[in-house]
Amino acid sequence: MNSSPSLSAKSGTRAGSIAASPVFWLIAISAVLLVLLTLPIVIPIGPMYWDSYIYFDAAQRIWNGQVPDVDFLTPVGPLGYYIFAWGLELFPRAQGLLLAQWSVLVVAVPLMGVVLADLAPRNRALAFALLVPFFVFGVSPINVETFHSYPGFDGVGIYNRQMVLLLYVLMSGLMFLPNGRKLAVFCALTMLSLFLTKITGFLVGGLFGIAALLAGRISLRNVVLAAIIAVLCLLALELNHHMITGYLGDIRQLVAANTGALLPRFLTAISIHLATILAAGVLFLALVWIDVARDTGKQRFFDRSPVWVAVVLAGGIILETQNTGSQEFIFLWPVLLMIWGRVRRMDNKAWLVFAALAAFCVVPLFTAVASKALRAAIIAPTYVQLPATELKNMEQVSTKPVIMERVLLLEDHYARYDDTYKALAEQGQMPSWQLYSEHDFQMFWLLSVDKVIKDLKAYEAANGIHLQSLMTLDFTDPLPWLLDRKPTPYIQIAADPDRTLPPITDRIKASVAATDGVLRPHCPETWARLALRKFYAEPLQGRTVVKLNPCWDLLLRPGILPQKAG
């Protein structure tokens, strides 16, 4: 009888110990996210939201047996597309942007778990200090930069956010995992994930890895072991229809298509992120002063605090020259936590200077993402949903009522003034300076797609036909997924005439020519849409043009329509 209180106390102590574990919270929050993916959540639409529809396009292609970088061209690595496709099968009502954003957690959470499980017994507070930013940045489909004044979740930058989160995980491991086989396997899997997500992240991760080798945080032997593991994994993936060879070929084409001057890109990156770069620069100088004043000569040069800040700062700037829309420089966080462990043992003056400057580096990034995400979530109940019936998961977005009023007027407006917008497009100008960032355009595009699907189904029924394959002459093309048709193989998804379109080949021409129906949007006319029509003009010659509605044409392959008698 007397043992019951003792057992109860022990159970309570054990439960309290589990609840105080960072790994427990890593698992618990991940479980909550899985539950949320089962619900038809509606979120406020944001700038360039249509970037998220690329994932539906890729998923439909994967389900039809197409292999990324082999059977269709991609702007980034295949990992995110595969995880999204698998996730969409598991969670058929998942909110699309959230599923795309959270797909990286499939690899990031286990890797972060390795770091936290090793670190927590030594320093639980430090482990929580790594965990909180990991989830705030990983869960929020929000960029640090602001593209629109109204609250909303950012479609642009999904790949970049996934990439910087993996770099955050990599830097956490390099800072806090001891040198050994565990670190080697961790680095191999993280670098492999970076390679299969976006090549620029892999290159910057390589820079961090070289710095860690020179700093003595990982031995050459373990670097070789990590490289062997990664190469073996890539060789295994190559067996999937030469996917890795195709990926490298796509990278080569993208590099060739984006060979603009490097200096303007550096200046742009620095100007956009000037506050963080200046704060980190001042912190670098302060750490040099601390090192000199306190004589840290016993430490390896490359493991000194100012060197690590310089390496991460350089990596961040290099990364941002190639990206638009991200949670840039978040991988400063693990480095600053490592340095904090050093300076807190020094006198008050040193750690106060460091704490103040470190806060200037990372707190604005953290608060920008967290506050924008909370603002969008809080305002969401006052927003209205699109009146659509044919969009599946894509209808799970909302906007301000006043914007919706405008959206409902735009189809008639664009159709009535089509010549005006076409005149602008022919001069390389957009209908507005930031059209793709505007919430009304993003909502109108969805409304327009909903309407063209209804009109296409009606046309097919009236003419006794069923188009087996579909393609859309636009940046993003989720219509084959929405209609469950075969997507045109061998073409570029995320078709940006300025950045991603490869030279057209005979195989691409034959594939486009064999497509049953090609949809051509008009509302509004843009220079990018005109460029896509010109790019695919040759294989689309001789098609029957059907005007489905004022904003959409259907280009039918010869022989699709039944021949009229007599």
SS3 content of the chain, % helix, strand, coil (to 5): 65, 5, 30
Share of the chain above pLDDT 70, in %: 95
- Torsion angle in degrees (nearest 10) through CA of 66, 67, 69, 75: 70
Please state the separation of Cα 195 from the chain's center in Å.
Answer: 14
Neighbours of 511 (CB within 10 A): 19
Residue 73: strand pairing partners: 492
Q: Do residues 209 and 187 lie in contact, with contact meaning Cβ atoms separated by under 8 Å?
A: yes
d(CA 325, CA 413): 31
Q: Based on the fold, state whether residues 38 and 180 are members of the same structural domain.
A: yes
Q: Considering the domain boundaries, does residue 380 fall inside one?
A: no
Alpha carbons 206 and 316: distance in angstroms, whole number: 13
Name the β-bridge partners of 153: 45
User: Tell me, what's the pLDDT at 1?
Assistant: 47
What per-residue confidence (pLDDT) applies to 16? Answer: 62
Is residue 563 situated within a structural domain?
no
What is the average pLDDT across 302-315?
A: 95
Q: pLDDT at residue 466 above 80?
A: yes
pLDDT tens digits, 517-532: 999 999 999 999 999 9
| Share above pLDDT 90 across residues of the chain, in percent, rounded to a whole number | 81
- Is 86 a member of any domain? yes
pLDDT above 80: residue 348: no
455 and 503 together in one domain: yes
Does 319 map to a domain? yes
pLDDT, the chain, mean: 92
Is 322 within 8 Å of 265 (Cβ atoms)?
A: yes
SS (H, E, C) 31-71: HHHHHHHCCCCCEEECCCHHHHHHHHHHHHHHHCCCCECCC
User: Per the domain annotation, does 550 fall within a domain?
Assistant: yes
State pLDDT tens for residues 254-284. 887 766 656 677 788 888 888 899 999 999 9
pLDDT-based confidence at residue 293 (cuts at 50, 70, 90): confident
- Same domain for 342 and 195? yes
118-144: b (≥16 Cβ within 10 Å) or e? bbbeeeeebbbbbbebbbbbbbbbbbb
Task: Confirm whether 95 is domain-assigned.
Answer: yes
Per-residue confidence at 291, pLDDT binned at 50, 70, 90? confident
Burial class (CB within 10 angstroms; exposed 0-12, middle 13-18, buried 19+) of 551: buried
Cα distances (Å, whole numbers) of residue 326 to 58, 107, 160, 368? 21, 19, 5, 12
Is 204 in contact with 318 (CB distance < 8 Å)?
Answer: yes
- Tell me how many domains the chain contains: 2
9 assigned to some structural domain: no
Q: 256 or 169, which is more confident? A: 169
The predicted pLDDT at position 510 comes to: 97
Higher pLDDT, 558 or 16: 558
Work out the average pLDDT over 139-165. Answer: 93
Asked whether the beta carbons of 304 and 291 are under 8 A apart, the reply is: yes
- State yes or no: pLDDT of 10 exceeds 80: no
**Same domain assignment for residues 430 and 361:** no
Domain match, 364 and 401 both? no
Q: In this structure, are 49 and 154 located in the same domain?
A: yes
What integer pLDDT is reported at residue 226 of this predicted model? 97
Residues 216 and 335 in one domain: yes
Q: What is the DSSP letter of 488?
A: P
What pLDDT sits at residue 296?
60
| Residue 347, pLDDT above cutoff 80 | no
Of the pLDDT bands very low, low, confident and very high (cuts 50, 70, 90), residue 566 is very low
* 468 three-state secondary structure: coil
- 137: closest CA among 376, 365, 336, 357? 365
105 and 172 share one domain:
yes
Q: Are 119 and 169 within one domain? A: yes
Is 351 a residue whose pLDDT tops 80? yes
Q: Are residues 347 and 466 in the same domain?
A: no
* Residue 193 within any structural domain of the chain: yes
- Residue 136: its pLDDT value, please? 96
User: Do residues 182 and 136 share a domain?
Assistant: yes
Which residue segment(s) compose the domain that 24 sits in? 18-373
Question: Exposed, middle or buried, 295 (CB in 10 Å: 0-12/13-18/19+)?
Answer: exposed
Handedness of CA 7, 12, 16, 18 (dihedral sign): positive
Of 145-154, 244-253, 271-280, 323-332, where does mean pLDDT reach its minimum?
323-332
CA–CA dist 565, 550 (Å, integer): 30
Q: How far is Cα 160 from Cα 77, in angstroms, rounded to an integer?
A: 11
Is residue 95 within 8 Å of residue 102, measured between CB atoms? no
Segment 248-252 shows an average pLDDT of: 89
Residue of 32, 331, 96, 294 lying closest to 205 (CA atoms) = 331
Confidence grade of residue 65 (pLDDT, cut at 50, 70, 90): very high
539 upstream amide cis, omega within 30 of 0: no
Q: Are 349 and 403 within one domain? A: no
Measure CA of the first residue to CA of the last residue in the chain; give whole Å: 99
